[in-house]
Amino acid sequence: MVQRSKLRDALEEEIVNGVFGGVSLDEQELARRYGTSRTPIREALMQLSAAGLVEMRPRRGAVAVVPDAQRLMEMFEVAAEMEGMAARLAARRWTDGDRRDLLAAHADCRAKAEAGDADAYYYENEIFHEAIAAASHSGFLQEQLTALRRRLKPYRRLQLRTHNRIGASYAEHGAILAAIFERDAEEAERLVREHVLVQGDRFADLVASLEDLPAAATRKA
């Protein structure tokens, strides 16, 4: 049976890839597709609803919803500004405890980057960005970033699969940490904004990756 986290990720990828675009998502049919029961399917749909990839509609049930390229670009622009703000505040406010957490998250990213595992790196990358947000000591900003990251999760994960992106991302983390620890708020904000914003060739690569997701997403574990 598919593990619940893997089930959610597999369903998420197929939605993003347009497999279920605009159609009702039948729990029983999905349970057969993924070789599981309806309960984990229902839980996955609720999680994807919170992430904005599924809408619960009267008389139609769960329906897959995928943003167009313009909407996706707008979401990344907002995320870049908010993550940049978190870095700026973190550079001003970090404590010894924050420094330890940031360095630990950076070390975990290095291990996954060296292994070349894009999906594993994605999750460590999220912890790294969460550590920056925590160092901002702004609870409200952390809440808003958590919600936005939930919306962008599948796309941030996919763009890490593009050529050489993991290595580049890890190197950017190092520069970001240096600016934060030097308490250079403006530089930290600029570096994080550029790190998060997907534009130009990176955006083209992301859009292309949406059309070429691995078929393995539907395999039973």
C-beta of residue 10 within 8 angstroms of C-beta of residue 218: yes
CATH classification at residue 181? 1.20.120.530
94 and 173 together in one domain: yes
Q: Please give the model's pTM, rounded to 2 decimal places.
A: 0.76
* 218, part of any domain: no
Do 47 and 111 have their domain in common?
Answer: no
Based on the domain organization, do 86 and 46 belong to the same domain?
no
Final residue of a domain: which of 38, 66, 94?
66
> Chain centroid to CA 113: how far?
16
- Gap between the Cα atoms of 144 and 48, Å rounded: 17
Take residue 147 and report the two structure tokens written for it.
């919600």
| Boundary residue ending a domain (66, 83, 107) | 66
Of 75, 64, 74, the C-alpha closest to 153 is: 75
The last residue of one of the domains, among 66, 91, 113, is 66
Q: Is residue 16 a part of any domain in this protein? A: yes
How would you classify the pairing of strands 61-64 and 54-57?
antiparallel
Q: What domain count does the chain have? A: 2
Domain containing residue 149: 69-210
In a domain, 215, yes or no: no
Work out the number of other CB atoms within 10 angstroms of the CB of residue 114.
12
Residues 102 and 54 in one domain: no
User: 217 lies in a domain?
Assistant: no
How far is residue 101's CA from residue 85's CA, in Å, rounded to a whole number? 19
Q: Would you state the structure tokens that stand for residue 130, as one six-digit string?
A: 């969460």
CATH for 33? 1.10.10.10
Q: Are 104 and 179 members of one domain? A: yes
Q: What pLDDT does residue 19 have?
A: 74
Q: Is residue 216 in some structural domain?
A: no
Do the domain assignments include residue 77?
yes
Residue 207 has a pLDDT of: 67
Each residue's pLDDT, cut to its tens digit, for the chain (221 residues) gives 457 677 888 888 777 766 776 667 888 888 888 888 888 888 888 888 877 778 877 776 788 877 777 888 888 899 999 999 999 999 999 999 999 999 999 999 999 999 988 889 999 999 999 999 999 999 999 999 998 998 888 888 877 877 788 999 999 999 999 999 999 999 999 999 999 987 666 766 666 666 554 433 333 32
Amino acid at 57: R
Whether residues 96 and 57 share a domain: the answer is no
